């Protein structure tokens, strides 16, 4: 079974600073996708960034980037120049290619201090 | 362009009752997935509907059932409610269930409380 682990229940960062959220996963598959979702108090899950397992290059979306270590089964999210609007729950998720069952971690609550 | 909408926003039921939650997918999407998010946890996949059929199901009992209509909207039904069914129920829509990657767009969820 595929599992996703987020070992940091809470993280805090100063505005304009950089923070890294950790995620590890367990799978025996070789073809899969990894995601980071943001869930603000409004509850709506928003896709932040995704990574295809077959791609060696780490994905980047503006201030958000990932460090994908396939052998170590690690998928961390780096947020640069943190903004107050980045405060939210962040969920790491895994989905096997061709499968519809997306597995989520327990989440990390990010606080941004002004 | 309307995103994913869900109704109702909040719902309170008592044990043993039945509940129906509704979801309208993002315009142009044909696939709807349902997730249960218990307090303090990540979402768990319940099932996915495509072409009005359940295509895949997570580890949920038969008390959880669904339906997809010709206009791609979907309902989630839960029978014989238990206290443990209290959660945020999220609907996500996407285009084409079987493509290798299809981004899921989530709705704001329905908060169900079972007393």
Query: For B5-114, which CATH class?
Result: mainly beta
CA distance B113 to chain A (A): 16
Q: Where are the beta strands (DSSP E) in chain B?
A: 5-7, 10-13, 19-24, 31-37, 44-50, 53-57, 64-68, 74-78, 87-94, 105-106, 110-114
For the stretch B36-53, pLDDT in tens is 999 999 999 999 999 999
Distances (CA, A) of B15 to B30, B44, B58: 33, 21, 23
Residue B99 has pLDDT above 60, yes or no: no
Of A43, A93, A98, the CB nearest to B100: A98
N- to C-terminal Cα separation, chain B: 37
Of A43, A98, A99, the CB nearest to B88: A43
Q: How confident is the model at residue A108 (pLDDT cuts 50, 70, 90)?
A: very high
**Number of C-beta neighbours around residue B8 at 10 A:** 12
Cβ distance A79 to A11 under 8 Å? no
Residues in Cβ contact with B92 at an 8 Å cutoff, skipping those fewer than 6 apart: A45, B4, B32, B33, B34, B35, B104, B105, B106, B107
Lowest mean pLDDT among A1-5, A79-83, B45-49, B111-115: A1-5
Q: Which residues of A touch B87 (CB under 8 A)?
A: none
* Sheet of B19-24, strand order: B5-7, B19-24, B74-78, B64-68
Residue B98 has pLDDT above 80, yes or no: no
Q: Report the residue of B5, B26, B43 to disrupt the A interface, i.e. the one with the largest count of A CBs within 10 Å.
A: B43
User: What's the whole-number mean pLDDT along residues B74-93?
Assistant: 97
Q: How confident is the model at residue A98 (pLDDT cuts 50, 70, 90)?
A: confident
DSSP codes, A16-74: TS-EEE--EEE-S-SSEEEEEEEE-TT---EEEEEEETT--SPPEETTEEEEEETTTTE
For the stretch B53-68, pLDDT in tens is 999 999 999 999 999 9
Lowest mean pLDDT among A13-17, B37-41, B73-77, B95-99: B95-99
The domain locations on chain B are 5-114
B14 reaches A (C-beta below 8 A): no
Cβ distance A88 to A111 under 8 Å? no
pLDDT for the residue numbered B101: 66
Residue A56 has pLDDT above 90, yes or no: no
Q: Which two tokens stand for residue B77?
A: 């039904």
Query: Please, what are the domains in chain A?
Result: 3-113 (2.60.40.10)
A28 reaches B (C-beta below 8 A): no
B107 reaches A (C-beta below 8 A): yes
pLDDT for the residue numbered A41: 87
CA distance B58 to chain A (A): 7
pLDDT for the residue numbered A100: 80
Q: How far apart are CA A109 and CA B11, in angstroms?
A: 26
For the stretch A74-90, pLDDT in tens is 999 999 999 999 999 99
Of A42, A47, A104, the CB nearest to B42: A104
User: What's the whole-number mean pLDDT along residues A22-51?
Assistant: 93
A109 reaches B (C-beta below 8 A): no
Residue A20 has pLDDT above 60, yes or no: yes
> What letter does residue B40 receive in the DSSP assignment?
T
User: What's the whole-number mean pLDDT along residues A15-30?
Assistant: 96
């Amino acid at each position: 079974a595929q599992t996703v682990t987020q070992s940091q229940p809470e993280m805090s960062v100063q505005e304009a600073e950089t923070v890294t959220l950790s995620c590890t996963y367990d799978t025996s598959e070789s073809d899969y996708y990894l995601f980071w979702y943001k869930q603000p108090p409004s509850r709506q899950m928003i896709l932040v960034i995704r990574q295809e397992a077959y791609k060696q290059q780490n994905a980047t979306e503006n201030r958000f980037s990932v460090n994908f270590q396939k052998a170590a089964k690690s998928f961390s999210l780096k947020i640069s120049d943190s903004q107050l609007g980045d405060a939210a729950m962040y969920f790491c998720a895994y989905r096997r290619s061709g499968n519809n069952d997306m597995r989520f971690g327990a989440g990390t609550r990010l606080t941004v201090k002004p | 362009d309307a995103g994913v909408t869900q109704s109702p926003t909040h719902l309170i039921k008592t044990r043993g009752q039945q509940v129906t939650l509704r979801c309208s997918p993002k315009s142009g999407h044909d696939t709807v997935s349902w997730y249960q998010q218990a307090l303090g946890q990540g979402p768990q996949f319940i099932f996915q509907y495509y072409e009005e059929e359940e295509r895949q199901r997570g580890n949920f009992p038969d008390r959880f059932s669904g339906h997809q209509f010709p206009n791609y909207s979907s309902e989630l039904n839960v029978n014989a409610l238990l206290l443990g069914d209290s959660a945020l129920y999220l609907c996500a829509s996407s285009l084409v269930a079987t493509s290798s990657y299809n981004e899921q767009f989530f709705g704001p969820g329905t908060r169900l409380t079972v007393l």
